[in-house]
Chains A and B, each alone.
Chain A
Amino acid sequence: MASVTLSGLRKEYGDLTAVDGLDLDVDDGELLCLLGPSGCGKSTTLRMLGGLETPTDGDVHIGDEPVTDQPPYERNTSMVFQSWALFPRKSVIENVAFGLKMDGVSEDERRERAREMLDVVEMGEFVDHDPTDLSGGQKQRVALARSLAIEPDVLLLDEPLSNLDKRLREQMQLELRNIHDAVETTFVHVTHDQNEAFTLADSIAIMHDGDIEQIGAPREVYDDPVSLFIEEFLGDTNLVDATVAEVTETGVIADTAFDTEVDVRTGDAAVAQGDGLSVSFRPEELDVERVEGTDGDGASAVTGEITDVLYRGSTVRFYVDLGGEHLFFEQSVGADTAFSAGDVVRVSWDPDDLLAFAADGARVGRGET
């Protein structure tokens, strides 16, 4: 168990900067998810933490110990690889006992401890199996047991669930959570899947272009994104172009692309008349009702016709046409108020739920709502 501190961490490959001066603190025993799209530098960051890549610049501390120049075999970190990297030609238990063998633990003791670890991940009956015969989920468990067997200060997980099918992935997310609670080790988990991050994490660090854009508890990050990038990455939303028509006491009145002036509570943020904004209308914040006529427009409502209905498994997505601009909202399949194409609806919202972003992507009026 140990905390992790990354300071000013940089990694360059020739002209390419993979990690760009990143700072990060992970608390002892925390489960942190490094979340980001592919190519954002999250795996490179994890590999530098494990010593598998050497930083171009910056420092890595595990606990109070500087480990920047330590090779991976001297660091007490252990990684679960995306490909799991189980050793072929070694049985399941030999795989799990490998780290203990390298530590010089006696054969009897390491077999016993490996067996215990296999029980923790519910693979006790596969002790003498060849890992190449196991299914993806089983390999994943063995890889986890192998890494946990050396009792690492920090467990590093490099998208280990991304090769599993959806159902198994969700089950493993819960199990990982439980295992984390049981072993009380610091976990750093890399993923590109925001649902996985929300399910697992104590805190989420969202990476963009080699640096952390925002870090916080899952709920906090979701409710209060710092930038347009985060807002778009964390979920599908309606982004509407708007121009500041008037600055008011509580925020602005914005002239939107669907020709309706809308109240946006940006507080006393520094915006001026004529500034361009992107306004996010999150689908889950929209209230929709069927109406007659199209005179329901206002500062927090618009009226339009449903043009498209998309079935997406357990939810249905409806697109409302607002004079060329579209807003979508979703309902569970089988909800009472099923809409169909051609229905005229009034879409309304609470002005406090709208999020506004400036032209450079930064959130306008964060913390003021």
Chain B
Amino acid sequence: MSEVELSRERAEDVLFRAGYWLLFALIMLPIVVVFVTSFQRGQYLTFPPHGFSLQWYRQFFASAEWLSAVRDSVVIGVGASVLSTVLGVMGSLAVQRSDSTLARVLPPIILLPLLLPPVVIGLTLLIYFNRIGFTNTYLNIIVAHTLWATPLVFFVMQSVFARFDWDLRDAGMDLGARPSRVFYHVVLPNVRGGVLISAVVAFIVSLQEFIMAMFLKSYGVQTVPVLAWTSLQSSLTPLVSVVSTFLVAVSIIGVLVSAALMNMEWLAERL
């Protein structure tokens, strides 16, 4: 290769990287704005901020309304996470290595709620729950979020089970273990990482979801995004930036925890 071609290749490489990082920065910029403005002084959201203070963080932790929204979000997130993980893992397990009609029909049906607009699901569930007199707000939102999170768990587990060595299951049954014991003793220990990651993803999805939670909220129970929206309607204070920072932080921590779990699995396999 000639010198000219080589320098040309290098220039293209630099241009590509620069373009890539620029795009990345543009996408990430709003998050930075949110993060920075959460530390600002003064009553109104401005960017760039005037001065630094932790006053909005203090206000957040002093607010009974916000803390109760955090509690509601966590309760609903954990509930939706547990329920969708159980349903998604079992559903995926059911269609493994099967060529029955159910195994062909189930995946698209499970996917369906993810393709419907949340407005439609939210409204439909609101009417439905009212009609049947099922008015526990926690459970209502948990069911709504489970509808959304189950397909995600299902498809994560599909790829996890695709890498599972099914001879192990056969060996377990062959050695006298009933299917439930095979699942507990043989399958689960080998897909634990995938199950935990599914649960984390489901929790984050529930935590972020706004539209269905909006429809199904009640006077006493509302999630953090819903409260953020209502308080935004009255005034645009930096408090919303604080809340958003927390939501972003939880998501990032979730991803990091999953990555750490994966790495530990990976490490454990090599030790």
Q: Scan A58-101; emit 1 where CB is below 8 A from any B CB, else 0.
A: 00000000000001110001110101010111100000001100
Is A87 touching B174 in the complex (CB atoms < 8 A)?
no
- When distances are taken between beta carbons in the complex, the residues of chain B under 8 Å from A90 are 189
Q: How many residues of A contact B (CB 8 A)?
A: 24
Is B170 touching A52 in the complex (CB atoms < 8 A)?
yes
Is A72 touching B174 in the complex (CB atoms < 8 A)?
yes
* B75-119 interface (Cβ within 8 A of A): none
- When distances are taken between beta carbons in the complex, the residues of chain A under 8 Å from B168 are 85, 87
Which of B32-40, B177-185, B197-205, B211-219 forms part of the interface with chain A?
B177-185
Given A73-B174, A103-B176, A87-B186 contact (CB < 8 Å): yes
For residue B165, CB closer than 8 A to chain A, the reply is yes
Task: Give the interface size class of chain B.
Answer: 10 to 19
A43 → chain B closest CB, angstroms: 12
A147 to B178, CA, bound (A): 17
For residue A102, CB closer than 8 A to chain B, the reply is yes
Q: Which of A81, A88, A150 contacts B170 (CB 8 A)?
A: A81
For residue B171, CB closer than 8 A to chain A, the reply is yes
* B129-183 interface (Cβ within 8 A of A): 165, 167-168, 170-178, 181
Interface of B is mostly: helix
A150 to B176, CA, bound (A): 9
For residue B269, CB closer than 8 A to chain A, the reply is yes
Given A52-B170, A73-B176, A88-B269 contact (CB < 8 Å): yes
A299 → chain B closest CB, angstroms: 56
For residue B190, CB closer than 8 A to chain A, the reply is yes
Is B190 touching A99 in the complex (CB atoms < 8 A)?
no
CB closest residue in chain B, given A98:
B175
Given A85-B170, A98-B185, A78-B165 contact (CB < 8 Å): no
- When distances are taken between beta carbons in the complex, the residues of chain B under 8 Å from A72 are 170, 173-174
B186 → chain A closest CB, angstroms: 6
For residue A315, CB closer than 8 A to chain B, the reply is no
Given A81-B167, A85-B167, A52-B269 contact (CB < 8 Å): no
- When distances are taken between beta carbons in the complex, the residues of chain A under 8 Å from B173 are 51-52, 71-73
CB closest residue in chain A, given B176:
A102
- When distances are taken between beta carbons in the complex, the residues of chain A under 8 Å from B174 are 50-52, 72-73, 77-79, 147
- When distances are taken between beta carbons in the complex, the residues of chain A under 8 Å from B170 are 52, 72, 79, 81, 85
Is A79 touching B269 in the complex (CB atoms < 8 A)?
no
- When distances are taken between beta carbons in the complex, the residues of chain A under 8 Å from B189 are 87-90
B101 → chain A closest CB, angstroms: 14
Is B190 touching A78 in the complex (CB atoms < 8 A)?
no
For residue A146, CB closer than 8 A to chain B, the reply is yes
B236 → chain A closest CB, angstroms: 53
A199 → chain B closest CB, angstroms: 25
Given A88-B190, A89-B189, A89-B190, A102-B167 contact (CB < 8 Å): no
CB closest residue in chain A, given B192:
A89
Is B190 touching A150 in the complex (CB atoms < 8 A)?
no
- When distances are taken between beta carbons in the complex, the residues of chain B under 8 Å from A85 are 165, 167-168, 170-171
A99 to B177, CA, bound (A): 8
For residue A162, CB closer than 8 A to chain B, the reply is no
A1 to B49, CA, bound (A): 83
CB closest residue in chain B, given A71:
B173
Is A150 touching B175 in the complex (CB atoms < 8 A)?
yes
- When distances are taken between beta carbons in the complex, the residues of chain B under 8 Å from A52 are 170, 173-174
Among A72, A90, A99, max chain B CB count under 10 A is at: A72
A72 to B44, CA, bound (A): 70
Name the 3 nearest CB pairs between A and B, nearest first: A99-B175, A85-B167, A85-B171
A81-B167, A83-B167, A150-B175 provided; 12 other pairs, C-beta below 8 A?
A: A73-B175, A73-B177, A73-B178, A77-B174, A79-B171, A81-B171, A83-B165, A87-B186, A99-B176, A102-B177, A146-B171, A150-B176
